[in-house]
Amino acid sequence: MTDINSEQVVGWLDRFASLLATNKDYLTELDSAIGDADHGANMDRGFQAILKKRADYEGKDIGTIFKTVAMTLISTVGGASGPLYGTFFLQGSIAAAGKSSLTPTEFGELLNKATDGIVLRGKAALGDKTMIDSLRPAVEAYRAAISQDTDIRTALRQAGEAATEGMKATIPLVAKKGRASYLGERSAGHQDPGATSIQLLFAAAAETLG
């Protein structure tokens, strides 16, 4: 199976930044219903800051790329999304330290380690109406596909589909974590913005890493 190289990772980040810019208002609209109405603006600001540092990480190993992303997000993005996405990429940087390419299996291990980092930091579980409801199914779908020798393009597509299903599954849930949990039963009927940005992350991966 084809490895994922650092150039592709840069392309992934570029595409995610583009999707965030396009969907900034949509993400903010989702967040206005159950949060602080800033998820779209925060994520877009963070990734625009990352793009400005492209010259610093382009051509570097994947661990360095992810660490730059993590530090930029933690320092520029407010609310919960900065620390959580920052944790995701920081754990990813540890898994990819010194590596200019990753096998499909190694990439799955990286995604799993990064997800575990978010769970440890945010204390959220499946069904809590958070980004985990989209992230965990996507990672598990990807790793299951790769373990069956599925080609990476198909595995990433299946991960994207799982992320979409997880995102939609947040709509009827009552939030148990984060700002949305303050609304109690009133949080039901709304799609979680964090799960939605995760869906965009995997949509970008399916387009650029396969």
Alpha-carbon distance of 50 to 89, in angstroms, equals 12
- Residue 182's pLDDT band (boundaries 50, 70, 90)? low
Count of domains forming the chain: 1
The DSSP-derived string for 17-46 is HHHHHHTHHHHHHHHHHHS-S-HHHHHHHH
Which pLDDT score is estimated for 183? Answer: 65
Which pLDDT score is estimated for 79? Answer: 78
Among the ranges given (2-6, 48-52, 76-80, 139-143), the one the predictor scored with the smallest mean pLDDT: 76-80
Q: pLDDT tens digit string along 24-72?
A: 999 999 989 878 889 999 999 999 999 999 999 999 999 999 999 999 9
- Residue 148's pLDDT band (boundaries 50, 70, 90)? very high
Mean model confidence pLDDT for the chain: 93
- Regarding predicted confidence, which is higher, 164 or 128? 164
Tokens of 117: 């980092």
Which range marks the domain in which residue 62 is found?
4-208
What sign for the dihedral angle of Cα 136, 81, 13, 166? positive
Alpha-carbon distance of 199 to 167, in angstroms, equals 7
Which pLDDT score is estimated for 176? Answer: 74
Which pLDDT score is estimated for 185? Answer: 74
Q: How many distinct helices (H) and strands (E) make up the chain? A: 10, 2
CATH number of the domain enclosing 167:
1.25.40.340
Tokens of 100: 């200019």
What sign for the dihedral angle of Cα 199, 205, 208, 210? negative
Return phi, psi of residue 89, to 5°.
-75, -30
Which pLDDT score is estimated for 188? Answer: 87
**How many residues are given for the chain?**
210
Residue 78 scores a pLDDT above 90: no
Q: Say if residue 119 is exposed, middle or buried (CB neighbours under 10 Å; 0-12, 13-18, 19+).
A: middle
Q: Are 154 and 145 in contact (CB under 8 A)?
A: yes
Rounded to an integer, the average pLDDT of 151-159 is 97
